[in-house]
Amino acid sequence: MKKFLMATAATALMSGAAFAEDVKIGVLLGFTGPLESLAPHIAGGAELAVQEVNDSGLFMDGSTVSAVRADATCVDAAAATAAAERLITSDGVKGIVGAMCSGATGAVLTSVSLPNGIVQISPSATSPGLSTIEDNGLFFRLAPSDARQGELMADIIKGRGIDEVAVTYTNNDYGKGLADSFAAAFEAAGGTVTINAAHEEGKADYSAEVGALASAGGQALVVAGYSDQGGSGIIQGSLDTGAFDTFVLPDGMVSDVLTEKFGSDLDGSFGQHPSSANDGAGKLEEMLAAVDLDGTSPYAKEGYDSAAVLLLAMQAAGSTDGAAVSKAILDIANAPGEPIGPGELGKALEILAGGGEIDYVGGSDVELIGPGESGGSYREVEIEGGEIKAVKFH
Amino acid sequence: MDFLNAVVALTNFVLIPAIAYGSQLALGALGVTLIYGILRFSNFAHGDSMAFGAMVTILVTWWFQSMGVSIAPLPTALLALPFGIVGTGLMLLATDRVVYRFYRRVKAKPIVFVMASMGVMFIMNGLVRFVIGPDDQRFADGARFIISARDFKEWSGLREGLAFKTSQGLTIVTAVIVVAALFWFLNKTRTGKSMRAFSDNEDLALLSGINPERVVMITWMIVAGLITIAGVLYGLDKTFKPFTYFQLLLPIFASAIVGGLGNPLGAIAGGFVIAFSEVGVTYAWKKVVTYLLPESLAPSSLVQLMSTDYKFAVSFVILIIVLLFKPTGLFRGQSV
């Protein structure tokens, strides 16, 4: 009997040691494609969080974490799902940070994460469609839905006494989602949308599109596009022909690229983008700068926070099982509990290991609402003297 | 006043852009038509050769800009243009020597030439992207406007602005000069006459002692001039991106065929027909119509025949209509 007890104890110890494993998480982003310039900063952010967790040595009884990169391409849903499939079946990842673009994110969720019961956290997908998608509670995002941005943009425009606008959007899930939610909110508030027209990226000449927008008219032009390509083409065409002087710029357009290109021609234009005013943001930017990453690049902070939330939830659940992890996410991301900023992941792991509660705040002021998405705080900006100036936070 | 506003809006959004675009297409189509008339094949590498010419010019322009050479208010690219033409000419002659001369010697069928030119197109396409990259390149400098919309509004007191960009003015002026020079060359000079003779009847031309290799060489040099000028003007007016030059192939071929392949006058007419249809069909006429009609009849819709996404479809449709009803084109070229 004594021997039997000894043997059991030994087995228990052995198996305890076996629990300390290498947990892999996938970093599935658009490393190639129309947002390839943003991906390295988001991935670097996620890997920084992984590094920090490993350095603490406190993750799940001494387990280590490694991040595996995969390319979701942004535009090719088939390539994104194939990459996600490979992450799960051949690399054996237990959770996915990604994807970046709304279309790829939805495709990966529906055909890979959901059937495999894997938790997926997107740092940057903003399409309103993802709020209502069937996800069995496995999908989260740290970017706010564009439905929220659309409503806020309508408020800001009305608040400036503008009642009639023309809208043009880049022809994809992001552009269309944002334009539609804005048009609905603006019309509900008593405004008029004279035209809601798509434009394609990467054309040489947008004079035909601008002609249609100008013909429809309006006091301002809402450009739900990308600053690097079509969006600035539309603005260029509008300024050249004198069709519009005032532009409303949502998140994809608030960029120094625009002010460098057009300078003070854009004075009086305004917009908003997701951003928070807390101290964590500055601290995370410093941490990222120390490893040669740009923390002000869109969604780089969310990249760090996505990986951190995923790993802390695993710690809280005491398991890497998708269902258990997904249940823990809302607990660690929201109050009550000890607030956790960037660089404090070790402390958070310790509290969770001791059975305590945390409220992860991170660099992007993480607060999950509704179906597990960021409530979103936005910064209203205005262009003055050829520079982007912050007006206030919403 | 309303009538004036309508005229200004129409000029601003339809006439000026269409005339500038038409001039660019006409220059491109002239090149296609010359090659078709004299070398007797449809050169698919045309769009990408245009990109090559523009690329060489851009590289020289950057070099000038870095040295502080400028001819403000005109864009520096004009100064770099001769270098671009020479570079493109050398490239075209090299292609002719390496690829087309062999097929001429074995008297290959035109379709073989067309396939060979597709191969050249892909190589050129890759070469341009390899050298300058697939992205947009900015090289325009100098004054941006001859008349800017804001100044025009202040000056005229009209509600509508009228913008006339330097690049548009340059395009139109250059196109007129180049076309005039080309027609003078083809009709008045000995070399031009020998080219036309070669185009009309190759055997008779050979019998009368015209050196075919010389005619071919001169044709390529003229084509190099035409496409480099067209490519640079298009890049100045819009933007330089290799892929858009590849896409230009369709409207250029449509222009040449609509006008009548092998007929230089037809190429010019075709360029403007295509440009005006593309711009006119996809323009939303609401503003112009609202100014012209009494208030009670003002349209609530955009009065747009087709969304701007279908711009390229317009060239296709015109192409098909012309081929169905007048296969030799408007100006009696060779039938395809």
> Where do the H-state alpha helices sit in chain B?
2-10, 16-34, 46-67, 77-95, 101-105, 110-132, 149-156, 166-188, 190-200, 202-207, 212-237, 242-259, 264-282, 286-292, 311-325
Query: Which amino acid, residue A217?
Result: G
Asked if A162 has any chain B CB less than 8 Å from its own CB, the reply is no
Residue numbers in B near A227 (CB within 8 A) = none
pLDDT digits 0-9 by tens, A331-387 = 898 888 888 999 999 999 999 998 889 999 888 888 888 778 887 778 888 888 888
Same domain for A221 and A252, yes or no, is yes
Inter-chain CB proximity B302 and A215 less than 8 Å: yes
Residue A8 lies in a domain: no
Asked if B14 has any chain A CB less than 8 Å from its own CB, the reply is yes
pLDDT of residue A5: 56
Residue B172 lies in a domain: yes
**Closest CA relative to residue B98, chosen from B125, B117, B114, B111:** B117
pLDDT of residue A4: 58
Rounded to the nearest angstrom, the minimum Cα separation between B165 and chain A is: 8
Please name the member of A199, A207, A217 whose beta carbon is closest to the beta carbon of B287.
Answer: A217
Residue A9 lies in a domain: no
CATH number at residue A47: 3.40.50.2300
Residue numbers in A near B239 (CB within 8 A) = 204-205, 233
pLDDT of residue B305: 81
Asked if A217 has any chain B CB less than 8 Å from its own CB, the reply is yes
Same domain for A67 and A203, yes or no, is no
Same domain for A44 and A136, yes or no, is yes
Inter-chain CB proximity A212 and B284 less than 8 Å: yes
Q: Higher-confidence residue: B290 or B103?
A: B103
Three-state SS at A204: coil
Same domain for A152 and A247, yes or no, is yes
Contacts 24+ apart (CB under 8 A), A104-107: A104/A30, A104/A72, A104/A73, A104/A74, A104/A75, A104/A76, A104/A77, A104/A80, A105/A130, A105/A141, A106/A130, A106/A133, A106/A173, A107/A77, A107/A78, A107/A80, A107/A81
Please name the member of B136, B238, B286 whose beta carbon is closest to the beta carbon of A215.
Answer: B286
Average pLDDT over residues B154-161: 84
Residue numbers in B near A268 (CB within 8 A) = none
- For residue A25, report the phi and psi dihedrals to the nearest 5 degrees: -125, 145
pLDDT of residue A201: 81
> Residue B303: which pLDDT band, with cuts at 50, 70 and 90?
confident
pLDDT of residue A8: 55
Residue A11 lies in a domain: no
| Neighbour-count burial of B106, counting CB atoms closer than 10 A to its CB (0-12 exposed, 13-18 middle, 19+ buried) | exposed
Residue A100 lies in a domain: yes
**Closest CA relative to residue A280, chosen from A159, A382, A361:** A361
Domain count, chain A: 2
Domain count, chain B: 1
pLDDT at B335 over 70: no
Same domain for A139 and A82, yes or no, is yes
pLDDT of residue A21: 81
Mutation for B interface: A36, A203, A265, most B CBs within 10 A: A203
Domain enclosing residue B288, as ranges: 2-325
Same domain for A237 and A187, yes or no, is yes
Residue B313 lies in a domain: yes
Q: Within a 10 A sphere around the Cβ of A384, how many other Cβ atoms?
A: 15
Q: What percent of chain A stands above pLDDT 70?
A: 94
Residue A208 lies in a domain: yes
Please name the member of B149, B163, B308 whose beta carbon is closest to the beta carbon of A212.
Answer: B308
Domain enclosing residue A312, as ranges: 21-145+278-374
pLDDT of residue B334: 63
Q: Which two tokens stand for residue B90?
A: 């050398």
Mean pLDDT score of chain A: 86
Residue numbers in A near B308 (CB within 8 A) = 197, 199, 208-209, 211-212
Same domain for A236 and A204, yes or no, is yes
Question: Torsion over CA of A229, A230, A233 and A237, rounded to 10 degrees?
Answer: 180
Residue A163 lies in a domain: yes
Residue numbers in B near A207 (CB within 8 A) = 13, 17
Measured distance CA(A213)–CA(A320) in Å, rounded: 52
The residues pairing with A96 across neighbouring beta strands, listed in sequence order, are: A26, A120
Return the residue of B nearest to A217 by Cα.
B287
Please name the member of A200, A207, A242 whose beta carbon is closest to the beta carbon of B309.
Answer: A200
Average pLDDT over residues A13-20: 48
Inter-chain CB proximity A216 and B286 less than 8 Å: yes
Residue numbers in B near A217 (CB within 8 A) = 287
pLDDT at A10 over 60: no
Average pLDDT over residues A303-328: 92
Residue A14 lies in a domain: no
> Residue A18: which pLDDT band, with cuts at 50, 70 and 90?
very low
Please name the member of B21, B153, B309 whose beta carbon is closest to the beta carbon of A242.
Answer: B153
Please name the member of B13, B239, B302 whose beta carbon is closest to the beta carbon of A241.
Answer: B13
Same domain for A131 and A36, yes or no, is yes
pLDDT of residue A164: 92
Question: Mean pLDDT highest for which of A2-6, A160-164, B146-150?
Answer: A160-164
pLDDT digits 0-9 by tens, A99-129 = 888 889 999 999 999 999 999 999 988 888 8
Please name the member of B161, B237, B241 whose beta carbon is closest to the beta carbon of A242.
Answer: B161
Inter-chain CB proximity A242 and B163 less than 8 Å: yes
| Neighbour-count burial of A201, counting CB atoms closer than 10 A to its CB (0-12 exposed, 13-18 middle, 19+ buried) | middle
Residue numbers in B near A231 (CB within 8 A) = none
CATH number at residue B246: 1.10.3470
Please name the member of B13, B148, B279 whose beta carbon is closest to the beta carbon of A214.
Answer: B13
Please name the member of B161, B244, B308 whose beta carbon is closest to the beta carbon of A208.
Answer: B308
Burial code of A305-331, b = ≥16 C-beta within 10 A, e = fewer? bbbbbbbbbbbbbebbebeebbebbeb
Average pLDDT over residues A203-232: 86
Residue B336 lies in a domain: no
Q: Give the number of A-B residue pairs with CB atoms closer than 8 Å.
A: 81
Inter-chain CB proximity B238 and A205 less than 8 Å: yes
Asked if B288 has any chain A CB less than 8 Å from its own CB, the reply is yes
pLDDT of residue B64: 93
pLDDT of residue A15: 44
Question: Torsion over CA of B234, B236, B239 and B245, rounded to 10 degrees?
Answer: 30
Residue B330 lies in a domain: no
pLDDT digits 0-9 by tens, A166-181 = 999 988 878 888 999 9
Rounded to the nearest angstrom, the minimum Cα separation between B139 and chain A is: 13
Distance of CA B269 to the CA centre of its chain: 12
Q: Higher-confidence residue: B135 or B82?
A: B82
Q: Which two tokens stand for residue A301?
A: 């902070």
pLDDT at A257 over 60: yes
Residue B91 lies in a domain: yes
Same domain for A162 and A218, yes or no, is yes
Residue numbers in B near A241 (CB within 8 A) = 12-13, 149, 161, 163
Rounded to the nearest angstrom, the minimum Cα separation between A167 and chain B is: 14
Q: Which two tokens stand for residue B213?
A: 């290799």
Query: Which amino acid, residue A126?
Result: T
Residue A3 lies in a domain: no
Same domain for A185 and A321, yes or no, is no
pLDDT of residue B253: 92
Residue B334 lies in a domain: no
Residue B196 lies in a domain: yes
Residue B332 lies in a domain: no
DSSP structure class, residue A265: G
Average pLDDT over residues B218-237: 94
Compute the half-sphere exposure of residue A231: CA atoms within 13 Å on the CB side of its CA.
24
Same domain for A190 and A286, yes or no, is no
Average pLDDT over residues A279-300: 86
Same domain for A259 and A318, yes or no, is no
pTM here is 0.75
Asked if A205 has any chain B CB less than 8 Å from its own CB, the reply is yes
pLDDT of residue A98: 84
Average pLDDT over residues B137-160: 84
Average pLDDT over residues B295-322: 81
Rounded to the nearest angstrom, the minimum Cα separation between B183 and chain A is: 30
Average pLDDT over residues B41-60: 94
Q: Within a 10 A sphere around the Cβ of B59, how many other Cβ atoms?
A: 18
